[in-house]
Every structure is written in structure tokens, then in C-alpha cells.
Amino acid sequence: MQEIHDQKIQRVTALDPAGPEFYTGILARKITKDDAQYVDAIHTNAGQLGIWQNVAQADFYVNGGSGPQPGCIGFDSLQKVVKSVTGTVSGSCSHQMATKFYARTILDGIRRSDDLKICSCNSGTKYKLTSSCCDQMVIFGEYSPPGTNGTQYMKYEI
């Protein structure tokens, strides 16, 4: 878009930025914080179909950023068994949760819900060690305000 019109679009939200085949090879093209005026990313399946790398001004690692995500526990476990037999990548349920979480933020915003503000940890290690980490309150998803930045680890369920 920028190459055609010589200006950046206002916003891009990356929904569990993909890892396999998107970050390696000659034709690799990954999203970066420079692709729009404001870029945010919601990570839900890092290490399988998604990536651990920060790619945006604000990277939100929901429920730690990797699977299994809430609602995917049985499904992702079954996929791991399939992977061990077939060698194919698993985790599609957790990968798809990024779109469900994002859609939920749109609905919460329409309802003007207080659920938009979520406690966030600035450190993945701190997030894993304590269930009550709350370094700051953040808004993620559709209503994440431009200017939000950094790496955020948070609990969120639909």
C-alpha cells in the first residue's frame, strides 16, 4: 500500500503472526512495526504456527502467547499426538484463537465494556512465575490506542 500511494496506512493488527514458511526462505515477508503508523500483534501460538519474535510497536502475548489456549486444551493435545505420528505442525486451535480474542474486543468495545482494560506483565518470566502479575493496565485488540508499545503478557478468555 505504501509503495503504491507513498503513505503508510494508519493501522495493522497481526493476528498470531505466522512462523513456518513465513520467516524463512527467499520469499519470506514478515510484518514489521514499520508497515503502518501503528502496528500491534496478538500472539497465541508462538513456537508452533506463530512466532516468539516481537514484530510490532505493541506485542500482546495472550495467556503467555503459546498454546494450548483456553478452549483448545483437548484439541491441541490431540494435534500433538497427530504431529508425533505424521510430523505435521500442530496447534491450529490456539493459532485461531487470536481472531476470536480480537473479535471479542470489538464486541466488548461496542458494549462499552470495562473488560477492555487488562492487567499486563512486562516480562514473560514474571508472567509465568506469578498468577497475579500486574505491571500496568492495557487495552489490546481493536481499541488498543496508537502509542501503546512494548511487550505485554496477559490472561484473557472468552
Task: Tell me the domains of the chain and their CATH numbers.
Answer: 2-154 (3.40.50.1820)
| Whole-number pLDDT of residue 71 | 86
pLDDT (0 to 100) of residue 151: 94
pTM for this entry: 0.83
Note every long-range contact of 62-68, with CB atoms under 8 Å and residues 24 or more positions apart, other chains counting. 62/97, 62/98, 62/101, 62/140, 62/154, 62/155, 62/156, 63/154, 63/155, 63/156, 63/157, 64/124, 64/127, 64/128, 64/153, 65/124, 65/153, 66/94, 67/91, 67/93, 67/94, 67/95, 68/93, 68/94
Map grid coordinates 466488548 to a residue. Answer: 108
Q: What is the pLDDT of residues 20-56, one digit of tens each?
A: 666 666 666 788 999 999 999 999 999 888 999 999 9
Q: What is the pLDDT of residues 104-118, one digit of tens each?
A: 999 888 777 666 788
β pairing state of 117-120 and 136-139: antiparallel
Query: Is residue 86 over pLDDT 90?
Result: no
- Confidence at residue 114, expressed as pLDDT on a 0 to 100 scale: 63
**Residue 45 pLDDT:** 93
In this prediction, residue 109 carries a pLDDT of 81
Convert the pLDDT of each residue in 50-84 to its tens digit. Answer: 999 999 999 999 999 998 899 887 655 555 555 55
136: three-class secondary structure by DSSP: strand
